[in-house]
Chain A
């Protein structure tokens, strides 16, 4: 059998394995196998590519892959689970830039060999697309990374004429693309295209507020896929197109889910401007009178209940309180109390982030219940314990049409007999909005560091029982 045919067959097998792998990733019991399968697919694709006649010198490849793999494995092992959104944003950016560079490299090879004819066609258009999408993904992801890390303001940064400027840049990018296809011999166009796309990526993400970051990460993920597919058009490589399209579609679906969870349209997320405290909400905050509660009283309350729903938020993970929370849950369960965790779709900093953080603390995933399935059950629950969550339990989303989060689906914790909110202080949530829940008659505030406070409650509760 000749080698090109062999390579094509290997690519076909890889494509099949990618599809099966993604399918298996959709169920918790098979997800790990799915990931391994798709890694195997990647390996097959890489080996098959090395057999290509175009690949003649292996030393540089071996060194590059070795160095990058070492850094990659080290970073992946070390990164904290709370920092997962940053990590994914960073890797997304790398993937996007890689696609843009591959296309730029192909452009340089073709122009050097005088193969201008090829660029005067769909290949040139695909090149421009891959460069634009890849570069936008890269600089956009870097801004998202900076925002999540706190290096760039997490608030929405907007200025007058921003949208006009973005539209203008997009027009310039299109013009550069056209010139690239028509006059490939002039390198100015490809370089301008890269530069304009990088600026466009920064400007596109900078107006998006911190609370909307999950949507942005999902969307940028979709872009990397599309950039890879565009590179596939440049190289006439079927497997790149299939795989890129799979990822592009997956990212789009996740984006849609995130938008629905936050009751935001994709358009308004992209245009930005979300995340400032409105003046009316601030005025109301002064009127909120809260009732404080201590750890001992909390333990007494927990001593006489039969059902508890815990509502964890990112604040819990920042305080590293997951393990204390698990102890509390186990202690209560030993006494026959029903304990469940209510997970808001955007709890944490990205889709499904809270589930990962709780899994890290050894909390079984079947204890975690989605918002739609648990919302009706708060009414028949003794205590709803809110730990480090704020916006996702804000009743203003249902009652106050002036609130910036009005219409966002929230957890109906206020329906529980008693709500205990464990929180560091009275500060606003990530979205920068005050929470009127704290002034409700059945709401008690347990102020303090989540880890220390919950540990104390656990100890008190254990003591109580022994006496």
Chain B
């Protein structure tokens, strides 16, 4: 990786971190649990890496590790979104 690429990636990382701070700091306590489980599902974005690692032709240690990662990341993503939706569906305002 060249220094230029690394710098760009670092810029992206830092700026996205600030966006995250801004987005979350005003969330009411009512939503903390769903928010935690939703961001937990979002962290499963590593599934993208797992797909790349498990999609190679032929069998190798690298591919097996990728498939293990894909299994865990899929569980994380799918379960996370479904359970968050289940919680949020219950939140109702007074009739």
Q: Which of B13-45 contact A (CB under 8 A)?
A: 13-14, 16-21, 23-45
Q: Cα distance A253–B23 when bound, in Å?
A: 10
Give CA–CA (A356, B90) in the complex, Å. Answer: 8
- The chain B residue with its CB closest to the CB of A19 is B19
Residue A64 at the B interface, CB < 8 A? yes
Q: Which of chain A's residues have a CB closer than 8 A to the CB of B72?
A: 68, 94-95, 97-98, 101
Inter-subunit contact B65/A92 (CB<8 Å): no
Min Cβ gap B34→A in Å is 6
Most A C-beta atoms less than 10 A away, residue of B1, B6, B12, B20:
B20
Residues of A within 8 A of B30 (CB): 28, 343, 352, 355, 365, 368
Q: Are A69 and B74 in contact (CB under 8 A)?
A: yes
User: A72 contacts B75, CB within 8 Å?
Assistant: yes
Q: What residues of B have a CB within 8 angstroms of the CB of A350 in the complex?
A: 32-33, 36
Most chain A beta-carbon neighbours within 10 Å: one of B18, B48, B57, B72: B48
The answer to whether B48 touches A54 (Cβ under 8 A) is no
Cβ contact within 8 Å between A365 and B36? no
Flag if A26 contacts B48 (CB, 8 Å). no
Q: A274 contacts the other chain (Cβ, under 8 Å)? A: no
Contact partner of A42 (CB less than 8 A), chosen from B16, B24, B45, B50, is B45
In the assembly, what is the distance between CA of A227 and CA of B20, in Å? 16
Contact B86 A49 (CB under 8 A): no
Given contacts A68-B78, A98-B73, A221-B43, contact A34 B33 (CB under 8 A): no
Please give, as numbers and ranges, the residues of chain A lying within 8 Å of B16 by CB-CB distance. 241-243, 245-246, 249
Contact B40 A351 (CB under 8 A): no
CB-contacts of A220-250 with B (<8 A): 221, 224-225, 227-229, 231-250
Closest to B52 in A: A54
A25 at the A/B interface (Cβ < 8 Å)? Answer: yes
Instruction: Give the number of residues in A that approach B within 8 Å (Cβ atoms).
Output: 117
Please tell me which one of the listed residues A29, A257, A360, A367 contacts residue B94 in the complex, with CB atoms under 8 A apart. Answer: A367
Is B43 in contact with A228, judged by CB distance below 8 angstroms?
yes
Minimum distance in angstroms from A402 CB to a CB of chain B:
30
How far does the alpha carbon of A368 sit from the alpha carbon of B90 in the complex, in Å? 14
Are B47 and A46 in contact, with the CB atoms below 8 A?
Answer: yes
What is the distance, in angstroms, from B20's C-beta to the closest C-beta of chain A? Answer: 3
Q: Which of A103-111, A143-151, A301-309, A382-390 is the contact stretch?
A: A103-111
B31, A68: Cβ atoms closer than 8 Å: no
Is there contact, CB below 8 Å, between B37 and A102? no
Q: Is A409 an interface residue (CB 8 A)?
A: no
Partner of B39, one of A46, A108, A237, A247: A247
SS class, residues of chain A in contact with chain B: helix
Query: Of A74-82, A198-206, A413-421, A434-442, which binds chain B?
Result: A74-82
**CB-based contact B93/A366 at 8 Å:** yes
Known contacts: A95-B76, A224-B40. The answer to whether A249 contacts B24 by CB under 8 A is: yes
A46–B49 CB distance below 8 A = no
The residues in A between 382 and 402 inclusive whose CB is less than 8 angstroms from any CB of B are none
Q: B94: which A residues are within 8 A, CB to CB?
A: 364, 366-367
| Contact A351 B78, beta carbon cutoff 8 Å | no
Given contacts A57-B57, A236-B5, are A102 and B23 in contact (CB under 8 A)?
Answer: no
Contact residues in A for B33 (Cβ distance below 8 Å): 84, 88, 348, 350-353, 355-356
- Judge if A122 is at the interface, Cβ distance under 8 Å: yes
CB nearest neighbor in B for A350: B33
Task: Given A35-B85, A76-B82, check contact A118 B1 (CB 8 Å).
Answer: yes
Is the pair A250, B1 in contact by a Cβ cutoff of 8 Å?
A: no
Taken together as a complex, chains A and B put the C-alpha atoms of A231 and B43 apart, in Å, by 11
Asked if A285 CB lies within 8 Å of chain B CBs, one says: no
Chain A residue with the shortest CB-CB distance to B73: A98
Interface flag for A443 (CB, 8 Å): no
6 additional contacts (CB under 8 A) given A75-B75, A228-B43, A249-B20: A123-B1, A218-B36, A221-B36, A225-B43, A231-B49, A364-B92
A-binding residues in B (CB < 8 A): 1, 5-6, 9, 12-14, 16-21, 23-57, 60-63, 65-95
What residues of chain A have their CB less than 8 Å away from a CB belonging to chain B? 18-19, 21-23, 25-29, 31-32, 34-36, 38-39, 42, 45-46, 49-50, 52, 54-58, 60-61, 64-65, 67-69, 71-73, 75-77, 79, 81, 84, 87-88, 91-92, 94-95, 97-99, 101-106, 108-109, 112, 118, 121-123, 217-218, 221, 224-225, 227-229, 231-254, 257, 343, 345, 348, 350-353, 355-356, 359-360, 362, 364-368, 370
Q: What are 18 A-B interface contacts by the 8 Å CB criterion? A: A39-B41, A56-B55, A72-B79, A84-B83, A95-B72, A101-B69, A102-B50, A106-B53, A108-B62, A221-B40, A227-B43, A237-B49, A240-B45, A246-B42, A247-B20, A252-B21, A350-B33, A365-B91
